[in-house]
Amino acid sequence: MQRVILFSGHMIDSPDRDTPRFPASMEDAASARIAAILEGWRVGKDDICICGGARGGDILFAEHGLDRGAQVRLFLPLEKEAFLEESVRLPLACDSGWEDRFADVLGRSTAAWPDPAGATDASDNPFARNNTRMIAAAKTCADGGPIHLLLLWNGQGGDGDGGTADVAHRVECIAAKVAIIDPAKLH
């Protein structure tokens, strides 16, 4: 039976983040937990993994989905250069190759770029709109079947509209299985 796994998660913190949420030192532990959950759910070649493409959680999830042979669908809220600048790149001293990893995942996935006609006005948040697109795609792909929700989330409100908290609150009640990885509890 095909499974649809919807992922949302925090980005690796930029070095100037005031309050750490997902520090780079937690990357390996988060990666291992994502891998363990996908293994436990027996995600494989017949399954669909849906996520964004930001550094940190999204890329880790996409890498593990691809490694397991799943179809990965990336939903990107901005045009490529703007997205790289906003959600992928870090200063070279702390980068971990996120831009190269993004390019690798992008090359092995199906990407859904934003529809320029999708914005209703300048105040429309592209990240919130992208969450709506991912949730709609998960429901369509599941075709009335179960959706699994995997979150890399500290359980708190986000930095603004369109973050992981938004997905959690909109999908948690309809997901058949929910797994939450709190970066603060990783060792």
pLDDT: which is higher, 115 or 14: 14
Domain range spanning residue 116?
A: 4-185
pLDDT of residue 121: 53
pLDDT of residue 157: 82
Cβ distance 11 to 57 under 8 Å?
yes
What are phi and psi for residue 42, nearest 5 degrees?
55, 40
User: How does strand 177-181 pair with strand 147-152?
Assistant: parallel
- Residues making up the chain, counted from first to last: 187
Q: What's the pLDDT tens digit per position in 70-104?
A: 999 999 999 999 999 999 999 877 767 999 999 99
Q: Say yes or no to pLDDT of 14 above 70.
A: yes
- Axis crossing angle, helix 164-171 with helix 126-142, rounded to the nearest 10: 40
pTM to 2 decimals?
Answer: 0.94
pLDDT of residue 104: 98
Please list, in sequence order, all residues whose beta carbon lies within 8 angstroms of the beta carbon of residue 143, skipping any fewer than 6 positions away. none
Assigned token pair, 24:
């780079």
Q: Say yes or no to pLDDT of 135 above 90.
A: yes
Q: What share of the chain is helix, strand, coil (3-state, %, to 5)?
A: 45, 15, 40
How many domains does the chain fold into?
1
CATH number for 119: 3.40.50.450
pLDDT of residue 103: 98
